Amino acid sequence: MKLILLGAPGAGKGTQAEVICQRLNIPAVSTGNLLREAVKNQTELGKAAQSYMEKGELVPDELVIRMLQARLEEADCAQGFILDGFPRTVPQAEALEQLGIRIDRVIDLEVSDEEITQRMSGRRVCESCGASYHLAFKPTRAAGVCDKCGGKTVLRKDDQPETVQERLRIYHRQTEPLIDYYRKQNKLYTVNGHSDLAVTTARTLEALEAQA
């Protein structure tokens, strides 16, 4: 299964990808996580991507496509994968096709801008391992401490309110056109992402099992 999770920033792509990849036993590939790791390690890619990410802008297609191609060539992706945060522009979707990668399904997690703004303000991420939580909806067991590694949980740099609004503007302009792109290919399944985490997971799994 080669799956794409589409959706606005904060729609819950990463949260759902983490659960679904265990059910399907395929890796979740998050370009956001890969880029944050590169920034943390100050690799050449990380240095080039950092200022775009902090402003909430997209990293140039060429850099992200090269990074993703290298990741998909790794052995664990041979049986399939879940893409979280890629493609985000039409040229990125076209690049997947040019690489000969045939996507089976695209799930669009639909959440309103108002709900997203609320979710982002409560999100906390572990500064060591990147695990993601929410103060109200997915709290850590001990306040401010990552359940997985004991690291400190903090507000993501690009979750400042002004940056969230910029990310939403960019999403509507550059990423939303992909909904039509994949609808025309009969690959699109829309999942209402407003419900709680477990209901959204159940709906996503139903969409995966639905007859194409």
Which residues of this chain interact with Mg ion, rule CB under 5 A?
Answer: 14, 32
**What is the smallest separation between the CB atom of 21 and Mg ion, expressed in angstroms?**
13
Question: Is residue 81 a contact point for ligand AP5 (CB under 6 A)?
Answer: no
Cis-peptide into 60, omega within 30 deg: no
C-alpha angle 79/85/87, rounded to 5°?
80
**What is the smallest separation between the CB atom of 150 and ligand AP5, expressed in angstroms?**
19
Question: Is residue 53 a contact point for ligand AP5 (CB under 6 A)?
Answer: yes
Pick the piece of the chain touching ligand AP5 (CB under 6 A) from 50-58, 72-80, 95-103, 147-155.
50-58
Dihedral angle over CA of 154, 158, 159, 162, nearest 10? 140
> Which ranges constitute the DSSP H helices of 137-176?
161-170
Report which DSSP code applies to 88. -
Answer for which of 50, 153, 200, 204 binds ligand AP5 (CB under 6 A) is 200
- φ, ψ of residue 87 to 5 degrees: the values are -75, 160
Q: Which residues from 88-127 bind ligand AP5, rule CB under 6 A? A: 88, 92, 119, 122-123
115 vs 93: CA distance, rounded Å: 27
Question: Is residue 71 a contact point for ligand AP5 (CB under 6 A)?
Answer: no
**What is the smallest separation between the CB atom of 110 and Mg ion, expressed in angstroms?**
16
Question: Is residue 134 a contact point for ligand AP5 (CB under 6 A)?
Answer: yes
Q: Which residues are catalytic?
A: 13, 88, 123, 156, 167
Residue at token pair 């391992």: 129
The set of residues, in sequence order, having a beta carbon less than 8 Å from that of 183 and lying 6+ positions away, is: none
The set of residues, in sequence order, having a beta carbon less than 8 Å from that of 53 and lying 6+ positions away, is: 35, 36, 39, 59, 157, 158
Q: Which residues from 146-175 bind ligand AP5, rule CB under 6 A? A: 158, 167
* Residue 178 interaction partner, one of Mg ion, ligand AP5, none, beta carbon < 5-8 Å per kind: none
Q: Note the residues at the interface with ligand AP5 (CB under 6 A).
A: 7, 9-15, 31-32, 35, 52-53, 56-59, 64, 85-86, 88, 92, 119, 122-123, 132-134, 137-138, 158, 167, 193, 196-197, 200
